[in-house]
Chain A
Amino acid sequence: QQPVQSPQAVILREGEDAVINCSSSKALYSVHWYRQKHGEAPVFLMILLKGGEQKGHEKISASFNEKKQQSSLYLTASQLSYSGTYFCEVSGNTGKLIFGQGTTLQVKP
């Protein structure tokens, strides 16, 4: 079952914050977050495992809520370089990997 990402698209001004959510109808074991710029390969941002830990990567952090079967990606003080499509990839206890449909983020000056 494909995870559902919301919102589908976000437009920000430089310096603004954004939250991207990734929800699954099934129990999650791990969540990976990636950013993909147009015409390029996805770039790994971070991984979160069962346990609800929050991780950070520069001004980008994420949380994993097992009860809600949801992960959220937080982008603070956005920069132009943050523009791209953000994907979550989830796995359940079978290890099967499924990408969300993506959230397009556009940061304007």
Chain B
Amino acid sequence: EPEVTQTPSHQVTQMGQEVILRCVPISNHLYFYWYRQILGQKVEFLVSFYNNEISEKSEIFDDQFSVERPDGSNFTLKIRSTKLEDSAMYFCASRATGRWYGYTFGSGTRLTVV
């Protein structure tokens, strides 16, 4: 079964550093998403991406964050000047075109800011 692949599975970074989280969506999917889940809390929507541009973003997704699809397969989330409160599990998801398709989530990247 096709999978969404995320790397790394765990990233530890120092406060103030920049991190890039990587995702390889399912190959024929056209809609891409990033979500965040702080330990013990609910999943939070960050951003959706379609046709090489952001289609929707939440209040969390401020200037500290950016997304990019640098080539035909990767979808990245960049977090600049990381803060302690950025520590969370970050999930990438992708979806096929069509009203009835749900999202397939990757297994996540656990980001720890120290």
Q: Interface on A for B, CB 8 Å cutoff?
A: 32, 34, 36, 40-47, 49, 87, 89, 94-102
Contact yes or no, A46 B102, CB < 8 A: yes
A-B contact pairs, 12 of them (CB 8 A): A34-B102, A41-B91, A42-B43, A44-B104, A44-B105, A46-B102, A89-B45, A95-B56, A96-B56, A97-B56, A99-B42, A99-B45
Q: Interface on B for A, CB 8 Å cutoff?
A: 33, 42-45, 48, 55-56, 58, 91, 99-108
Cβ–Cβ < 8 Å partners of A89 in chain B? 43, 45
> What is the chain B residue whose CB lies nearest that of A99?
B43
> What is the chain A residue whose CB lies nearest that of B104?
A44
Contact yes or no, A49 B99, CB < 8 A: yes
Cβ–Cβ < 8 Å partners of B103 in chain A? 32, 44
Beyond A99-B44, A99-B45, A101-B42, whether A41 also contacts B101 by CB under 8 A is no
> What is the chain A residue whose CB lies nearest that of B47?
A97
> What is the chain A residue whose CB lies nearest that of B45?
A97
> What is the chain A residue whose CB lies nearest that of B107?
A41
CA gap between A98 and B55 in the complex, in Å: 15
